[in-house]
Amino acid sequence: MSAERGATGPVGVIGGVGPLATVYFMDKVVRLTQASRDQDHVDMVVLQHATIPDRTEYILGRSDDNPGPVMADDARTLERVGVSFIVVPCNTAHHFTAEVVNATSVPVLSIVDETIAEVVDHRPGTSVVGILATSGTLAAQVYQHAAQARGLQSVVPTDDEQAVVMRVIYDQVKAGQPADLVALRSVVDALVARGAQTIVLGCTELSVVADDAALLDDPLYVDSLDVLARRTIERTGRTVR
């Protein structure tokens, strides 16, 4: 369900997945909004729900704790507050979007669909995207399906390369440790060698890396958290800097 442009109520954020990525999302919304005073900024109601069960562990069958009903309850809570639309700054959580949509009448802005739309609309000539994401996101194939629906092919890391990506996401960013940029870049180089013309950062922990290391100065990358922040601002009728 799409969010209507020019929505007047606060934006509802199902956050905590992960906690740092949610804070970076809020920071991006503030920094990217064209504003000259407090009242020009976006109203947000944020549930920093860090104890939502791990999305990847459930998708891969390593946990019986289903995040879907928990996220659906959060959506109902946000609906009671009166939010105009809901965003979830987590790509792996996109696998459970249907449960969130079905739980309430509030529109949900899709981080995955908006990111692929960004590639199609603003990366002319791209026919193949490389996807960096959690193993859960890749297993659910949310980006592969979204890319295919827009006429794009996708390439993903090998098992060994994916182990590097997961180490960066879980052992480094989620654990509050520095990211191994050299190792991550080696995976990016491998995807480019296999035909990727644009690299989608399809995990919001990788968005944290991108922000800290200024990766978005390189037009090779499209960052899902950055895209979600920009589209959130636009849907409220405000202007992106």
* pLDDT, tens digit, 9 for 90 and up, residues 63-95: 999 999 999 999 999 999 999 999 999 999 889
Which pLDDT belongs to residue 6?
57
Domains of the chain: 11-110+228-235 (3.40.50.1860), 112-223 (3.40.50.1860)
Instruction: Check residue 3 and give its pLDDT.
Output: 47
- Report whether pLDDT(7) > 70: no
Backbone torsion region of residue 173, taken as left when φ is above 0, otherwise alpha when ψ lies between -120 and 50, otherwise beta: alpha
Q: In the structure, what pLDDT confidence band is assigned to residue 208 with cuts at 50, 70 and 90?
A: very high
Q: Is 209 a catalytic residue?
A: no
Per the structure block, which two tokens stand in for 60? 């891969």
Quote the pTM value: 0.93
For residue 4, pLDDT over 70 is answered with no
The sign one gets for the Cα dihedral 165, 92, 111, 240 is negative
pLDDT in tens, 22-46: 999 999 999 999 999 999 999 999 9
- pLDDT at residue 12 above 80? yes
Where b means 16+ CB within 10 Å and e means fewer, 67-87 reads bbebbbbbbebbeeeebbbbb
Q: What is the pLDDT of residue 1?
A: 46
Of 45, 46, 93, 54, which Cα lies nearest the Cα of 72? Answer: 93
Is 203 annotated in the active site?
yes
Catalytic pick among 47, 72, 78, 90: 90
Q: What is the pLDDT of residue 230?
A: 98
Identified catalytic residue from 152, 203, 210, 227 = 203
